[in-house]
Structure 1
């Protein structure tokens, strides 16, 4: 079936005004088939009136963890290592049913599609361990929603003590034994689950759903499993997700546990830093790391809101742009952003780097930000032409109402898209040529019924989550000490605003003590 979108202006970041004059666009077989003035409307074609509004590529959420979509707002801002202690402990009490996994994934799909995010890279983790029926539930939600998705199994393979510095020495014997146990899912089991993901879901829904590979982070897996995943990525041309140097503590890990090498250098020395890799966060990198990334062709997934929420620091945007390192933008996860909205991610990315450079000509410009959220995401996903509006590109598109207050008056389109838009001006969203969201809401699902079911089910899970909090609270004093030790180290760089700039000579506020529910603080 052919669809004609008539009388629209196309986003064109190479033009001074940021868009074309009005034209028509034809879509066939899920891809853009033609662009021009007054295109003929074939018999039986679907006609969409653009009314002179803007047609732009769908946004690409370049990094996401769907497993905690139901936990938005649950945790306070905490350093990553403490945050993860409460976010994803490998406890049976948190095991989801397939329906729960489906609903929590669908919560993210609904929020993304409402705001014009059409594609997502889901680096999905599974608590307490991945299982075929849970993988199936996550993938089925993406199929049903109409989104385009890459799905990976983000699962550590080694024990907690092997992932972190200092902890082995800090823990008492009983807790050291607990955290010294290997992951509940072995390397062979994990590779078998990847076989399941690939055989059942890779290329599903007309190619909208595809697999990806993930080691979670280099220090969370053995070199053997890391290499096996790389081979899987190579054999099937999959993006490969790896969190690297998100925090200062991870920089310290390299010095303490990798003979002084950074995680980027460690990965390169293993021969596993390639153009297929998405290096996630990459905050505490030095020039040598950036040179390695540029040489490899790897993409960097930038998650500025999450980086602020967890106090991780500010990524080196301009240094990466100067080296030609591809950048995509991501939400990271609902629990570390509290929204799944790429417009807020774009605005934050456009602003946060302005405090890291005195030369204002080197601050991010909106066109760079928009490219990162569209073509940058498509490049990271290894989806040719995704994020473009050109003949042959996937028809993943947003129709933006230029009559809303965000664009009245229209002074500079790219700036207003990045700084003024929140997603409320999206009139219509299309994925692979199908309208998946229009003025009446999402077209493929009963949004109200799903939200009501999710509300009821996840309210019943609060007791289980509180029980998990109480269980892991036993580790909190030792994780805090580990964090403090890492903060004290001189790593010859700073990616956070120094205390002196914001607190003068005042001592930092003491760490609050957890309350009865086992939470780090309320």
Structure 2
């Protein structure tokens, strides 16, 4: 497809109001062919851009699709308690392929409507990542038109080996099912299926990534095997690190006083391909290691608030030149898949960590995380994140003649603090419009919503059963979290009097 955006505005940090003069952008096939004035493109579809802002497509750099149907189901709880209810490996929760497809497509529709063109899905499949479920999720992304990096977020070690204190807190009779490790061979076969069946398909729009979930949840051998795949394919590697204070305490208890980042560095895991998810309970030594390796940190501020995990040290990370990308995390921990809300929270939450306003994030910094940081995290730094010739035509068209931009005072600030997705009029991925005129072009949203409501209403008894099982274990997990919370770890990432 050939498309000519006529007389659009682009972001320009040096210009008045943060906008370039009106210009033309020519898209030919999957890439931007030219940016200029009075461009000619014979046979191209003309898109009138007067009063419109053409942005790089928004990038949701960290997401878990398999619980997209559970938004609003849980009270706010610390991560370790939250996961009891969110992801128990119960046979009753095993999805069918259609369920996996529908719950993924729900998220795609929400993201495309908000101008999100790319997502990194760190998908955990319960109780197992079987080929039919992997295929269902990837087919949803294929059908929606989105760009995706998908990894299999699968812990390998037994539950009691992943957490501190729990084994000593729980009586032997209560440990059933918590002392069994996963079959590493089965997990590697699942990756082989993902890569051989899907990696690089749809013109490169669908790609595999790898995930160890978190270093403390897998063996060093499996962690390194995934890094071998990441290196060979040059794809991102996802690892949750130091999301909670308990994870900081775990290093003291299990890793000889090393933080999880120090441990990952000692195992050779840190690299420019690594996405470190959350990085809240980090210290300066951790960040020096991350900066030296060139890894990216994925910031999920709404999820961090929902779970009470703490506030990531944004300024200390930026000061070291570490790339930051933004993510929603799963819909059950954000209760939406809205990157505009994430950007706004990233621009606000750090303001209560210091009285010095010079240390607070500026709107352009947040946009840099959203676009440039997201492109870097995806391993597509030269292809995404900017409206320039040669880049992939993953674009978001925003109407500036709407309430969030009226009056127009400063485009960057109004994008971060005022916009909520209502001004997005079109979303393009690889040169194709996947959202325009108020509808997703490849998704029958009315049929999708109707089927999802019926399907997940039938699922409710299984979810209630899972919640009941979680309640049985909760007292010991609460004791574990309480013990970790009381430990002095030499830092505080909670906002408290």
TM-score by length of 2: 0.99
**Contact preservation (8 Å) 1:7, 1:51:** yes
Q: Distance in 1 between matches of 2:293 and 2:339?
A: 27
How far 1:445 moved relative to its partner?
1.4
Match of 2:424 in 1: 426
Per-residue deviation, 1:176: 2.3
Q: Does 1:34 align with 2:31?
A: no
Q: Which residue of 2 aligns with 1:480?
A: 478
In structure 2, the partner of 1:239 is 236
The one of 457, 460, 463 equivalent to 1:462 is 460
What aligned pairs does 1:103-502 form with structure 2 within 5 A after superposition? 103-183=102-182, 186-383=183-380, 384-498=382-496, 501=497
- The CA distance in 2 between the partners of 1:19 and 1:66, in whole Å, is 35
SS in 1 for 2:62: strand
Structure-2 separation of matches of 1:14 and 1:128: 52
Q: State the distance in 1 between where 2:177 and 2:447 align.
A: 42
Whole-angstrom CA distance in 1 between matches of 2:416 and 2:48: 25
Relative to structure 1, the CA distance from residue 16 to residue 316 in structure 2 (aligned partners, 3 Å threshold; closer, same or farther) is farther
Kindly state the Cα deviation for residue 254 of structure 1 after the two structures are TM-superposed: 0.2
CA distance in 1 between partners of 2:357 and 2:246 (Å): 30
Q: Secondary structure at the match of 1:207?
A: coil
Give the distance between the partners of 1:355 and 1:468, measured in 2 at CA: 37
Partner Cα separation in structure 1 for residue 75 and residue 269 of structure 2 = 35
Deviation digits for residues 9-32 of structure 1 (CA, Å, limit 9, x no counterpart): 012235453221001110112110
Unaligned runs of 5+ in 2: none
Question: Is the 8 Å Cα contact of residues 279 and 298 (structure 1) preserved in structure 2?
Answer: yes
Secondary structure of the structure 2 residue equivalent to 1:150: strand
Q: Count matched residues.
A: 496
Deviations 1:97-125 (A, max 9, x none): 00000000001001101111110000000
Distance 1:303 1:493 in 2: 20
Say which SS state the counterpart of residue 463 (structure 2) adopts.
helix
Worse-matched range after superposition: 9-18 or 85-94:
9-18
Q: Distance in 1 between matches of 2:14 and 2:391?
A: 18
Structure 1, unmatched stretches of 5+, are 502-522
Q: Is the 8 A contact 1:22 1:52 kept in 2?
A: no
Residue 508 of structure 1: aligned partner = none
> 1-side partners of 2:389 and 2:281: how far apart?
40
Whether contact under 8 Å (2:109, 2:443) holds in the other structure is no
Range that drifts further, 49-58 or 201-210? 49-58
**1: CA distance, partners of 2:164 / 2:148:** 34
- Report the Cα distance in structure 1 between the residues aligned to 2:12 and 2:57, rounded to whole angstroms: 14
Counterparts of 1:482 and 1:327, CA distance in 2: 31
Which secondary structure does the structure 2 equivalent of 1:197 belong to?
Answer: helix
Of the structure 1 ranges 18-27 and 280-289, higher mean CA displacement relative to structure 2 is found in 18-27
Equivalent runs, 1:93-112 vs 2, <5 Å: 93-112=92-111
What SS is found at the alignment partner of 1:102?
helix
Deviations 1:285-335 (A, max 9, x none): 000001000001000000000000000000000000000000000000100
Aligned to 1:509: none
* Partner secondary structure for residue 203 of structure 2: helix
C-alpha distance in 2 between matches for 1:16 and 1:169: 62
Verify the 8 A CA contact 2:17 2:408 in the aligned structure 1.
no
The corresponding residue for 1:505 is none
* Displacement after TM superposition at 1:178 (Å): 2.6
What SS class does the counterpart of residue 121 from structure 1 fall into?
Answer: strand
Give the secondary-structure state (helix, strand or coil) at the position aligned to 2:68. helix
Q: Is this contact kept in 1: 2:352–2:495, CA < 8 A?
A: no
CA contact (8 A) 1:375 1:385 kept: no
TM-score (structure 1 length as normaliser): 0.94
- Name 1:62's counterpart in structure 2: 61
User: In structure 2, what is the Cα distance between the partners aligned to 1:120 and 1:342?
Assistant: 11
Say if 1:281 and 1:315, in contact at 8 Å, map to a contact too. Answer: yes
Taking the aligned partners of 2:14 and 2:137, their CA distance within structure 1 comes to 38
* Distance in 2 (alpha carbons) for counterparts of 1:295 and 1:314: 23
